[in-house]
């Protein structure tokens, strides 16, 4: 076999018209950022979602979830949230929510069903006591940690994405994403106490993410439009009267809420040849809805933005969907702290777990 191989390499070097090139070295992990974990969505159908963290000893990223449980997270880890000592991870295509301790050991596996079919969790919100989760089949779920993580559900609009809690109400973005070309354009307003939809608010086509400001007076919604004549939009909604205001913002693709009552807005687009243009993150004052300035720019293959309000970090990720993605970590002041290859596909969210 060895002689065969050397024979081939000889033949190859004679035959190849191109020269071998050094592989691009992966940038080192986020040294010094203790407790940082990265949720990687993985590739669709690849069952390669993961929660990765930098391991000082080995100098590489390790899968905290796998190491704690001896099994994989599953397909499309969509969202991750902390409440008390629990970490909730929604794994969308695998139709499961893992509740773990801060060591990522599984405490509870939640599979919600309707008509005998498991529901697909998307995004979380919390009021500090309970965790709310959207289910893509058209439901909002409420998980009660005090009640053994029991789940109750209520119907909302089609294909809900983001959800936010403000003033005893939950605001759910109904994307209707599976109903192309007739996307939905509403938010469902659900009373947290009765857990029933009380009203809907009309917004731009294909709403995606929702966050509330600190006072709970304004909700911010990003919508993706219909990918044709209706473009993406950032809108503010008054919690008091449900009135909707368009916010000046070009090409919004993702938003995050962070420390100091700031809203981070990732904007990007593509040129006429469908080449993705570098992404820019802008800071908005969530109390007033006013753009404060550019937070970060020139991010190639910008993918998602997330923030850890307690630790004060802002995370911007990059993905070409083809290779493992990158994460850039900023302080809430906009200082770039780290940039590294997450070693996972499609990194979507960062959190500091201590």
Written as six digits, the tokens of 100 are 């773990």
Cβ proximity to other proteins, 155 vs 312, nearer residue: 155
- The Cα–Cα gap between 163 and 174 comes to 9
Cβ proximity to other proteins, 126 vs 134, nearer residue: 134
Bridge partners of residue 285, in order along the sequence: 262, 290
Pick from 34, 117, 199, 331: which binds other proteins (CB under 8 A)? 117
Pick from 137, 142, 161, 308: which binds other proteins (CB under 8 A)? 137
Q: Is 1 helix (H, G, I), strand (E, B) or coil?
A: coil
- The Cα–Cα gap between 205 and 346 comes to 25
Pick from 30, 121, 138, 347: which binds other proteins (CB under 8 A)? 138
Written as six digits, the tokens of 36 are 């940082």
Pick from 2, 3, 21, 293: which binds other proteins (CB under 8 A)? 21
- The Cα–Cα gap between 331 and 350 comes to 13
Cβ proximity to other proteins, 169 vs 176, nearer residue: 176
Nearest to 316 by CA among 253, 277, 266: 266
* Contact criterion met (CB below 8 Å) for 201 and 242: yes
Cβ proximity to other proteins, 178 vs 310, nearer residue: 178
| Residues 140-179 close enough to bind other proteins by CB under 8 A | 158-159, 176, 178-179
Pick from 199, 238, 270, 288: which binds other proteins (CB under 8 A)? 270
Q: Nearest approach, Cβ of 127 to other proteins (angstroms)?
A: 26
**# residues contacting other proteins (CB under 8 A):** 72
Cβ proximity to other proteins, 122 vs 169, nearer residue: 122
Site pattern 42..81 for other proteins (x: CB under 8 A): -x-xxxx-----------------x--xxxx-xx------
**H or E, element range at 6:** helix 2-15
Nearest to 341 by CA among 59, 67, 79, 61: 61
Q: Nearest approach, Cβ of 114 to other proteins (angstroms)?
A: 7
Task: DSSP for 257-271, please give it.
Answer: EETTTEEEEEE--B-
CA angle 227, 228, 230 (to 5 degrees): 85
Q: Nearest approach, Cβ of 66 to other proteins (angstroms)?
A: 6
| Residues 209-248 close enough to bind other proteins by CB under 8 A | 224-225, 227-228, 232
| Residues 279-338 close enough to bind other proteins by CB under 8 A | 279, 302, 319-324
Site pattern 176..195 for other proteins (x: CB under 8 A): x-xxxx--------------
Dihedral Cα 113, 119, 122, 127, nearest 10 deg: -10
Nearest to 282 by CA among 296, 268, 269: 296
Cβ proximity to other proteins, 212 vs 267, nearer residue: 267
Binding flag, residue 269, other proteins (CB under 8 A): yes
Cβ proximity to other proteins, 116 vs 128, nearer residue: 116
- The Cα–Cα gap between 268 and 280 comes to 6
Cβ proximity to other proteins, 126 vs 223, nearer residue: 223
| Residues 85-114 close enough to bind other proteins by CB under 8 A | 91, 93-96, 109, 111, 114
- The Cα–Cα gap between 215 and 296 comes to 26
């Amino acid at each position: 076999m060895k002689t065969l191989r050397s024979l081939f390499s000889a033949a190859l070097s004679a035959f190849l018209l191109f020269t071998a090139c050094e592989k691009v070295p992966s940038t080192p992990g986020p040294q010094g950022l203790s407790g940082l974990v990265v949720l990687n969505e993985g590739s669709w159908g690849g069952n390669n979602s993961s929660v990765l963290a930098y391991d000082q000893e080995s100098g590489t990223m390790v899968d905290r979830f796998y190491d704690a449980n001896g099994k994989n997270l599953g397909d499309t880890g969509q969202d991750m949230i902390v409440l008390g000592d629990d970490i909730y991870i929604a794994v969308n295509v695998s139709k499961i929510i893992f509740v773990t301790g801060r060591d990522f050991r599984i405490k509870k596996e939640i599979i919600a069903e309707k008509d005998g079919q498991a529901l697909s969790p998307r995004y979380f919100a919390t009021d500090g006591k309970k965790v709310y989760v959207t289910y893509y089949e058209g439901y909002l779920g409420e998980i009660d940690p005090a009640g053994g993580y029991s789940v109750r559900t209520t119907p909302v609009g089609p294909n809900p994405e983001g959800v936010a809690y403000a003033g005893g109400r939950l605001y759910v973005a109904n994307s209707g994403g599976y109903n192309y070309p007739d996307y939905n354009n509403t938010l469902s307003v659900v009373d947290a106490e009765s857990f029933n939809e009380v009203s809907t608010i009309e917004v731009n086509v294909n709403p995606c993410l929702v966050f509330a400001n600190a006072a709970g007076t304004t909700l911010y919604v990003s919508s993706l439009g219909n990918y044709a004549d209706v473009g993406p939009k950032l809108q503010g909604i008054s919690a008091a009267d449900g009135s909707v205001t368009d916010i000046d913002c070009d090409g919004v693709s993702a938003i995050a809420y962070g420390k100091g009552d700031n809203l981070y807005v990732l904007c990007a687009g593509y040129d006429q040849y469908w080449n993705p243009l570098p992404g820019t993150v802008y800071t908005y004052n969530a109390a007033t809805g006013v753009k404060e300035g550019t937070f970060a720019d020139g991010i190639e293959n910008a993918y998602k933005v997330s923030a850890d309000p307690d630790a004060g970090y802002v995370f911007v990720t990059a993905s070409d969907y083809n290779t493992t993605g990158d994460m850039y970590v900023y302080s809430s002041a906009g200082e770039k702290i780290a940039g590294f290859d997450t070693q996972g596909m499609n990194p979507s969210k960062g959190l500091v777990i201590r």
